[in-house]
Structure 1
Amino acid sequence: MCPKSGINVRLRGKPRRKAYMSKILTVDDDKELTNALKLYLTSLGQLVEVCDNGEDALQLLSSFDYDVIILDWSLPGISGHDVCKTFRERGGQTPIIFLTGKEHVSFLETALDSGADDYMVKPFEVRELFARIKTLLRRRSGTYVPELKIGNLTLKPESNLLITTSSEIRLRVKETALLEYLMRHPNRTFNAQQLLNAVWPSDSEGTTNSVRTWMNLLRRKLESIGQTDLIKTISGSGYMIEDKEA
């Protein structure tokens, strides 16, 4: 039972498989609720960060990139409504799902007018929340692709498998996350700081040196299957995967 809202977040059964990784910011001062959401979404392979007030949320959103924001309507200090409105006014495009105990249509209208993409009333089924997260991600990227392919290389993020026409290797979770991010954004260059922001939690002890270390480990794995030149280093800019068919 979540103390602030008085609801049960029902985590029935185990997830069937891990989904592809997205970076989710959850903003709610109900710690039991956010802990339950983080536990469930993390079990599905998502990278979840939590904060409990609007001021900290705006600070995180100004410093880091997220794929989805889960935002409570009633926050201490700056309200969820004001967080959403301010974020949109600053040019933020990340999809936002509001959580609230208010069912009246006027709250729904206010939430959507402030820039929210979706709205869930407590109590809710956490699997429905994740289904809506996936819908927003599909809408944002155009489609959900559980397998990523470039040339003769296939990455299966849910199982950390990297497959070519003649071989198959299993990656570590962080190696998968780095490779997945670059493959989902082909022909774009990302420096170490950008990759740190995208793949590591903001409260982790990771540094740009951590990114370079994991990138070297990933490249060794790629070399072992004949993919030496897959990740290109652009001098003075960062890392890129080229996809001529993209």
Structure 2
Amino acid sequence: MADSRRGESEPLLSNSESSENEGIAPSAPNLPPINSTEIPPVLGSDVPPPIQPGEMPPPYSPPVQGGPGGGVPMINCRVCQAMINLEGRMHQHVVKCSICHEATPIKEAPAGKKYVRCPCNCLLICKLSSKRIACPRANCKRIINLAPMTTVATPSTTNTLTTTSGYRVVCGHCNERFRFPHSSTLARCPYCRRVSSVGQAYAKNRCIIYTVIGLIFLGAGIGVTIGTYSLAENQGGIYFVWIGAFVVGILNLMRAVYYGVMKVSTLETD
């Protein structure tokens, strides 16, 4: 009786490969025992590797919405309006366009700073208190005036800062346009850094004034020289009077020539 029961239970307790693998596909790998720490091989190349014992799971990163390419963040270039992919660059303040190679801000400027777009499309960053900045590009080197009133460039509207008060002047040297608060004086162009007369009347009047003063001193020097020629042999100080009169007269005539050949910048009406 005991032998017959033992014979009935033997097939159920035998751990043969044929009985365990019955009904399993031939391509399926053998599963390890429950107590084993061995990891079964990966079935496909597109399946991520399992987490090892004691390994922390990767951090959760929510998908970024708002892009036409299925969640990819995009922004328009502020220069050529081409689309710029922001994937992996959201931590930056500015990004570079692959078409025109110019920078476009995607975040607000750091504290105490502001963005400025040069006429050559170079994006600059400067202090909020800055009144004048220079473009660092070798083929530009323009001086941008930020005072008295400016338009601050932001990531949504990045425009060139221009002053809104004064007269619009066309430089007589480089023909660039800039703002100047006075209409009849000398002005230094912020682009070429050369001085010109704003309006022809200013330089003409100064030329006449210095010419008259120079001729007066030259005439006085000649008169003093002729009148005191005999006294100069005994009094050597008279020579200094002659020299002083001639020097002042020549300097005034040189100043008159300077204003006479000066370039004239014209005024434009808004």
**What TM-score do the two structures reach when normalised by structure 2?**
0.22
The structure, 1 or 2, with the larger RCO (C-alpha pairs under 8 Å, 6+ apart) is: 1
More helix by share: 1
